[in-house]
Amino acid sequence: MSAAETEVAGPALHVRGLRLAIDGVELLRGVDLDLAAGECLAIVGASGSGKTLTARALLGLAPGRVRASALQFGGTDARRLGERAWRRLRGRRIALVNQDALSALDPLRRIGSEVAEPLRIHRLALDGVHALLARVQLPGRSRSYPHELSGGQRQRALIASALAAGPDVLVADEPTTALDATVQARILELLAELKAGGTAIVLVSHDLGAVARIADRVAVMHEGELVEQGPTAALLAAPVHPAAVALVEAARPSPVRGSSASEAASAETQRDSSSSRPIVLEGRGLVKHFGATTAVAGADLVLRRGEVLGLLGESGSGKTTLARLLLGLERADAGDALLHGEPWSALPERSRRERRGRIQLIGQDPLASFDPRWTGRAILGEALAEAGVARGGRADRIRSLAVDVSLDPALLERWPRELSGGQRQRLAIARALASEPDVLVADEPVSALDAAVRGTILDLLDRLRRERGLAVLVVTHDLEVVRRIGDTVAVMRAGELVEQGPVARVLLEPEHPFTRELLAAAT
């Protein structure tokens, strides 16, 4: 980016009327973009809006034929380039950082060699590799393989590789989506540094929090068009187009429950009022080892009727294992899980079976939790059969379950794979409700969903808690989920519950340093 910068005439990126159609369907309908050196433009939008396609089209990687009235990188017209010419441009002038760092890196290749690849391709000196790795804070890791790196480190290696040949424009497609909050923050800092160094960045994201931190301008994408563009702060504060408004709405942090004026009791009295509710699920000193690693190291947990407990932690912290211990899906090495004060985890499955209906699970990946051969109707029918509902009454109950979770009953004739992510999750919740359980364990129920859908699913869980007095354990890495529906929260790190308490207290006055770090990373 040193020598090239001086030659650059005009903006780093200049795009007019970018169009792309596949099989006669217009996926991009005239996208206009301008980007100056050292500027960061964020393209935001719901999934399927064409963000990623736009990013790929900028690098000549889009499937199908791309047409544009202008597509220039620092004055070079890229419209009529053949594949060979594109290859000379990619990496050197414009580079891509992919969404999924694990699959973007060759598993059999050391990081150093991966980072050096663009240098080799463009016949540049290979001596910069160590400096590049140092720049993304991976010094001395050039001999590591991708599987030896954490998710954040892989993403940084990918960024180093993209930077290697000194591109003027960096296109980053959801670079932080799969990462934990604290790691996300570090990647964003890195991108901000690059920007300060003069690299122009196109950041594709659905995460407005990330966008707000580093983007100078935001462009909102909706059905293949950029419907609104503007300076980040202004656009996020006062969006105009309905699609932009919906995005901003969905991303707005929720007020912490119990922190509003009407419920302005102190944390202590809150605890008192809630402790009058009966305990439905309790973990006592739960321990689980997998080989030499300790997934859960002595967890004590209490879940009361009509209460949402958020189990908050980063990936690998053992929160899913703890949830599985409580569900009796994993045998604890020590400790007990009690359901309604009676033994639960210690029992053999045979004795548990009768009470299985009391505690239900909503999994991380609803699609995988359905038999691929079965339609929604059959799935709910089976759940009702296991709950002891007679055959004659099932059709009505199937309908009412669908209505309870706001799922159009007509959709029950489809296979789950034909449903959208939100619809699948509703179906999973409907199945969990079939036995009229007292406890719902939801493992990352919204992490795979779009922001707008996410809100509706969380609202549904909250409504079920209110209307049915359900106790809900929500396992999540997302602070926003806890903030939105949690009553109490338990923060987990490396198998240990480091802090527990009412959400209002823990989020507003965190005691443990790790909780503070989590909160800082998310704001």
Partner 1 sequence: MSAVVPGARRALVLPRWRPGAVPALIAAVVLALLLLAALWPSLIAPGSPTATDARAGTLPPGAEHWFGTDRSGRDVFTRVVHGAGASLGLGLGATGLALVAGGLLGTLAGLAPRRVDGVLARAVDVLMALPEFLVALLLIAILGPGTGSVLVAVALAAVPAYARVARVRTQQLARSAFVESALVLGQRPWKRMLRHVLPNLLGPLLTMAALGLGTAIVSAAGLGFLGLGATPPAPEWGVLLSEGRNLLGTAWWVAVFPGAAITVSVVCASVLGRWLGGRR
Q: Which of 55, 308, 311, 361 binds partner 1 (CB under 8 A)?
A: 361
Residue among 233 and 329 whose Cβ is closer to partner 1: 329
Cβ proximity of 98 and 104 under 8 Å: yes
Task: Check residue 294 for interaction with partner 1 (CB under 8 A).
Answer: no
Q: Which of 271, 289, 356, 397 binds partner 1 (CB under 8 A)?
A: 356
| Segment contacting partner 1 by CB under 8 A, of 230-238, 275-283, 293-301, 358-366 | 358-366
- Inter-axis angle of helices 242-251 and 451-468, nearest 10: 50
Provide, rounded to whole angstroms, the least separation between the CB of residue 329 and partner 1.
7
Residue among 368 and 520 whose Cβ is closer to partner 1: 368
Task: Check residue 32 for interaction with partner 1 (CB under 8 A).
Answer: no
Residue among 380 and 451 whose Cβ is closer to partner 1: 380
Provide, rounded to whole angstroms, the least separation between the CB of residue 327 and partner 1.
7
Residue among 145 and 374 whose Cβ is closer to partner 1: 374
Provide, rounded to whole angstroms, the least separation between the CB of residue 392 and partner 1.
12
Provide, rounded to whole angstroms, the least separation between the CB of residue 428 and partner 1.
8
Residue among 154 and 319 whose Cβ is closer to partner 1: 319
Among candidate residues 215, 204, 214, 238, the one with its CA nearest the CA of residue 43: 204
Residue among 232 and 423 whose Cβ is closer to partner 1: 423
- The DSSP annotation for 136-186 comes to TT-TT-TT--GGGS-HHHHHHHHHHHHHTT--SEEEEESTTTTS-HHHHHH
Cβ proximity of 36 and 45 under 8 Å: no
Residue among 132 and 281 whose Cβ is closer to partner 1: 281
Provide, rounded to whole angstroms, the least separation between the CB of residue 410 and partner 1.
14
Coil/strand/helix, residue 432 = helix
User: What is the pattern of x (binds partner 1, CB under 8 A) and - over residues 369-398?
Assistant: xxxxxxx-xx--xxx--xx-----------
Q: What type of residue sits at position 522?
A: A
> How many chain residues bind partner 1 (CB under 8 A)?
30
Task: Check residue 347 for interaction with partner 1 (CB under 8 A).
Answer: no
CA separation, residue 523 to residues 232, 244, 382, 517, 519 (Å) = 16, 21, 44, 10, 6
Q: Which of 143, 353, 466, 516 binds partner 1 (CB under 8 A)?
A: 353
Check residue 277 and report its DSSP letter.
S
Task: Check residue 195 for interaction with partner 1 (CB under 8 A).
Answer: no
Provide, rounded to whole angstroms, the least separation between the CB of residue 354 and partner 1.
7
**What is the chain's alpha carbon radius of gyration, rounded to the nearest angstrom?**
25
Provide, rounded to whole angstroms, the least separation between the CB of residue 395 and partner 1.
10
Cβ proximity of 145 and 484 under 8 Å: no
Task: Check residue 354 for interaction with partner 1 (CB under 8 A).
Answer: yes
Coil/strand/helix, residue 353 = helix
Residue among 211 and 383 whose Cβ is closer to partner 1: 383
Distance of CA 86 to the CA centre of its chain: 32
Residue among 283 and 416 whose Cβ is closer to partner 1: 416
Q: Residue 124, Cβ neighbours under 10 Å: how many?
A: 16
Provide, rounded to whole angstroms, the least separation between the CB of residue 427 and partner 1.
11
Q: How far is residue 349's CA from residue 323's CA, in Å, rounded to a whole number?
A: 17
Pairing state between β 359-362 and 439-443 = parallel
Cβ proximity of 269 and 276 under 8 Å: no
Task: Check residue 86 for interaction with partner 1 (CB under 8 A).
Answer: no
Task: Check residue 363 for interaction with partner 1 (CB under 8 A).
Answer: yes
Q: Which of positions 425-444 make contact with partner 1 (CB under 8 A)?
A: 431, 434-435
User: What is the pattern of x (binds partner 1, CB under 8 A) and - over residues 317-346?
Assistant: ----------x-x-----------------
Listed in sequence order, the residues at least 6 apart from 31 whose beta carbon sits closer than 8 Å to its beta carbon are 15, 17, 18, 19, 50, 54, 221, 224, 225, 226
Residue among 272 and 371 whose Cβ is closer to partner 1: 371
Provide, rounded to whole angstroms, the least separation between the CB of residue 22 and partner 1.
18
| Segment contacting partner 1 by CB under 8 A, of 144-152, 336-344, 353-361, 511-519 | 353-361
Q: How far is residue 69's CA from residue 81's CA, in Å, rounded to a whole number?
A: 14
Residue among 163 and 427 whose Cβ is closer to partner 1: 427
Task: Check residue 512 for interaction with partner 1 (CB under 8 A).
Answer: no
Q: How far is residue 172's CA from residue 184's CA, in Å, rounded to a whole number?
A: 13
Distance of CA 371 to the CA centre of its chain: 25
Residue among 349 and 467 whose Cβ is closer to partner 1: 349
Pairing state between β 488-493 and 496-502 = antiparallel
Per-residue burial over 326-354, b = 16 or more CB atoms within 10 Å of its CB, e = otherwise = bbbebebeebebbbbeeebbeeeeeebee
- Interface ranges with partner 1 (CB under 8 A): 327, 329, 349, 353-357, 360-361, 363, 365, 368-375, 377-378, 381-383, 386-387, 431, 434-435
